[in-house]
């Protein structure tokens, strides 16, 4: 950037631009994630408001990333669908303090992420969930038809406008980021809560992998919770691989529940082959099962979700909901997990010591999009407590996208449940936003239990200025000869 922005979450100084050509002015930061920041900006050439995604500096140092980023940005820009946030431009920003930084210029969607609409423990009406996921699947189907696999579908990447229209963002970003050195320390590329079993195992991501992620989002909408929640990203990924599909609430229509279960099948060949088939099933849930599953191998693409040294590459898929789950013998590979985890932690610690040029609370980059591996050994059941014999500190992942836009009391309770010490901070509400809405969680990313976090939220909207009385004022009003106070 040609001028450095102010502190986290604040406005930028006048004249801050994303590009050396000073076309894309950065106006205000919208969000911060594990792969970078999103800004509200202005295309000064065309005079339109845009969204500018500034990726983290470390990505610019990887030659493979730069090549993939350009290719994927071109592919994403070629996607034309009302359900896909349009990509207008891309390039390499120049920050005078931190060097090069890739950026992406996109359509600014007037809406909020689906993650802000989902409230923990609250079910979305089935018809609303079916409509939103149907729209999403139609948009993903357009990408699949063009040979593009998203690889990181999650509520934070699904923007819902005021009229209920869904727009998907971040096509190609996960693909471009595969292979960057950060993922070699044991991190999961993608978001573990929505990751398909084959991605967690390091196998090829396919169109059916996106269907699985769509199924996880649909399950969360219908049940008010994610199907798999564990104490660390690693344990969560293992749950996707090994645990049977949890039951949905009894009030979910049977046809819609069947669609959800098929989308969440462990074996990609037993799911809907692509998003188009999933969308068709959502339009007519009663017809589910009429068409036998179709293998999705033809849609194979390079894998981007790698769980390094955690899950055996050839792990068998778990049976679907219709088949009783069988207890498996531990693979020799799984017995090696503790050593591999400790090795990953050591490598991570060395890398983290090199620091980050961005003003974050820790040297570790935020992980809203690329959560890092847990620091404890996963047990046979991912939901159990981690082993007390592990010397590594227990960590928790805080994704700001899961909390921004929600009520402060709900966010405070959930963060405390993670073992964090929470301080709330009221900030000035100058834009007329909804009172008690969370605007930031700092620090975020990978934290240790007992760490302190500050949750900032909007106070009461600022009152309008009082009307001006022409007979009052100070001596500097008008010609200074009035009856005002001197």
Task: Report the catalytic residues.
Answer: 152
Contact assessment for residue 412 and residue 424, using Cβ atoms and an 8 Å cutoff: yes
Query: Taking phi first (over 0 means left), then psi (-120 to 50 degrees means alpha), and beta for anything else, what does residue 347 get?
Result: alpha
β-strand pairing of 99-107 with 48-55: antiparallel
Q: Say how far apart CA 28 and CA 9 lie, in whole Å.
A: 8
Q: Say how far apart CA 314 and CA 240 lie, in whole Å.
A: 15
Question: What is the DSSP-derived secondary structure letter of residue 439?
Answer: E
Contact assessment for residue 1 and residue 93, using Cβ atoms and an 8 Å cutoff: yes
**Concatenated DSSP letters of 305-354:** ---TTTS-TTPPPPP-TTS---PPPPPHHHHTHHHHHHHHHHHHHHHHTT
**Concatenated DSSP letters of 26-92:** EEEEEEEETTEEEEEEEETTTTEEEEEEEE-HHHHT-HHHHHHHHHHHHHHHT---TTBPPEEEEEE
Helix (H) or strand (E) holding 460: strand 452-461
């Amino acid at each position: 950037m040609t001028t450095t922005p102010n502190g986290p979450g604040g406005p930028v100084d006048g004249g801050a631009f994303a590009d050396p050509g000073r076309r894309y002015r950065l106006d205000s930061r919208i969000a911060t994630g594990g792969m970078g920041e999103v800004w509200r900006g202005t295309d000064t050439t065309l005079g339109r408001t845009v969204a500018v995604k500034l990726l983290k500096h470390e990505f610019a140092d990887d030659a493979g990333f730069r090549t993939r980023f350009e290719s994927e940005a071109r592919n994403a820009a070629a996607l034309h669908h009302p359900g896909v946030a349009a990509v207008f431009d891309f390039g390499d920003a120049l920050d005078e303090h931190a060097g090069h930084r890739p950026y992406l210029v996109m359509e600014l969607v007037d809406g909020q992420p689906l993650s802000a609409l989902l409230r923990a423990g609250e079910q979305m009406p089935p018809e609303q969930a079916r409509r939103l996921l149907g729209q999403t699947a139609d948009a993903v189907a357009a990408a699949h038809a063009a040979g593009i696999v998203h690889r990181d579908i999650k509520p934070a990447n699904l923007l819902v406008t005021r009229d209920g229209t869904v727009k998907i963002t971040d096509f190609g970003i996960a693909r471009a980021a595969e292979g960057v050195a950060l993922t070699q320390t044991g991190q999961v590329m993608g978001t573990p809560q929505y990751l398909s079993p084959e991605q967690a195992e390091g196998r090829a991501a396919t169109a059916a992998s996106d269907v699985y992620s769509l199924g996880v989002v649909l399950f969360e909408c219908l049940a008010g919770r994610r199907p798999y929640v564990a104490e660390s990203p690693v344990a969560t990924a293992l749950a996707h691989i090994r645990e049977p599909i949890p039951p949905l609430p009894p009030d979910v229509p049977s046809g819609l529940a069947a669609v959800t279960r098929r989308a969440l099948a462990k074996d990609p060949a037993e799911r809907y082959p692509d998003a188009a088939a999933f969308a068709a099933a959502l339009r007519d849930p009663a017809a589910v099962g009429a068409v036998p599953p179709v293998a999705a191998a033809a849609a194979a693409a390079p894998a981007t979700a790698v769980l390094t040294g955690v899950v055996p590459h050839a792990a068998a898929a778990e049976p679907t909901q219709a088949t009783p789950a069988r207890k498996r013998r531990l693979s020799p590979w799984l017995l090696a997990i503790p050593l591999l985890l400790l090795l990953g932690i050591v490598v991570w610690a060395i890398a983290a010591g090199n620091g980050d040029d961005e003003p974050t609370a820790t040297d570790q980059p935020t992980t809203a999009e690329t959560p890092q591996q847990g620091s404890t050994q996963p047990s046979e059941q991912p939901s159990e407590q981690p082993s007390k014999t592990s010397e590594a500190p227990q960590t928790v992942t805080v994704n700001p996208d899961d909390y921004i836009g929600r009520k402060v009391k709900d966010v405070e309770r959930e963060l405390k449940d993670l073992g964090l010490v929470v301080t709330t901070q009221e900030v000035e509400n100058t834009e007329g936003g909804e009172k008690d809405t969370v605007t930031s969680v700092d620090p975020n990313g990978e934290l240790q239990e007992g760490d302190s976090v500050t949750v900032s939220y909007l106070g009461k909207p600022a009152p309008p200025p009082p009307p001006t009385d022409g007979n009052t004022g100070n001596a500097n009003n008008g010609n200074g000869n009035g009856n005002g106070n001197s």
